[in-house]
Amino acid sequence: MNKLYPLKFKARFRDKIWGGQKINEVLGMDFGQLPNCGEAWVLSGVAENETIVSNGFLAGNELNELVEIYMDDLVGGKVYDAFENEFPILVKFIDANDWLSIQVHPDDDLALKRGLGNGKTEMWYIMSADDGSELISGFGAKVNQKTYLDHLKAKTLKQILNFEKVKEGDVFFMPAGRVHALGPGILLAEIQQTSDTTYRIYDWDRNDAQGRSRQLHTEEALEAIDYNVYDNYRTEYSKLKNQTVGVVDQKQFTTNVLNFNKPVLKNYEEIDSFVIYTCVAGSMEISYRAGMEKLAKGECMLIPNDLNLVELKPLTESKLLETFIL
């Protein structure tokens, strides 16, 4: 069997009522005849939405097919035991040209109880943001289910939500259960559990091009929502250069940020997991045992578990999200 190598994939594009043009204009991805593009799924094992390899001898194969064939060699022993033939992480780029719906996702326990597979915990890395751009993360005032429903019915939900101004480089960890929404002017990278379950709780009373409103999931969301208030919704991390900086360390995934302008040697012998590189700025060469691949802003690469040693050589100052499962 041929040796595995760093894998790149063809993106899957989704037009959204709130989407814009930055997926093409900023990230250089051609989303064809779509009127806009809200999401580019660049690494996906979601059923019927798997991404397809675009480089090397495995080009044309779907991600989950490779998991089934290569198992531990691709994803790691613990990961394969836990998730079997479904790749457990979904990576997207999101362009918010308008407010996304206010929504919430179930956690693993609730998703299992409802027969939905995984829950949906995620993180956002802000790649760019227009002046004044903001997002919603959690509640700004203590509420219970009744208070929440009263505000939802009165269309005054904004009064109890927490709004955050954002800028490039900000990170927001969004555990399952946290009510959230993206505002206009934001381009980001999203790392999340493999799940497409979203409970939409408010959609700003808007209609699509056919005059139809989108479905809401008021009842389904009630048990999923975390009604607590937290001191800080922003994920703080060091902005050091040429060092691997920890950002998210959770059971669902670990993500580090690497901002570098010098070559970096990465040794993954102690990690029994695949590694995902999501390039959020710059471009680089990635050297491995049998060759070299290039990675640029707006691209994602999967480093197989059995590829323990790689060297990152920046072609310009670059920023990379490094994700794996411990």
Let me know if 200 is a catalytic residue.
yes
| Count of Cβ atoms closer than 10 Å to residue 97 Cβ | 19
Which CA distances in Å does 155 have to 149, 170, 203, 323? Answer: 10, 29, 10, 38
7 in helix, strand or coil?
A: strand
- Angle among Cα 159, 123, 234 to the nearest 5 degrees reads 50
The distance from CA 5 to its chain's CA centroid, rounded to whole angstroms, is: 23
Q: What are phi and psi of 154, to 5 degrees?
A: -85, 0
Which CA distances in Å does 55 have to 156, 175, 280, 298? Answer: 50, 33, 20, 16
CB 195 within 8 A of CB 46: yes
What whole-number distance in Å separates Cα of residue 94 and Cα of residue 136?
15
Question: Burial letters for 164-194: b for 16+ Cβ neighbours within 10 Å, e otherwise?
Answer: bebeebbbbbbbbbbbbbbbbbbbbbbbbbb
Q: Comparing C-alpha atoms, which of 16, 37, 19 is closest to residue 28?
A: 37
What whole-number distance in Å separates Cα of residue 108 and Cα of residue 194?
11
Tokens of 172: 């927001």
313 in helix, strand or coil?
A: strand
Question: Which of 12, 14, 178, 200 is the catalytic position?
Answer: 200
- Write the DSSP symbol of residue 37: B
Tokens of 68: 């089934």
154 in helix, strand or coil?
A: helix
Q: Residues with catalytic annotation? A: 200
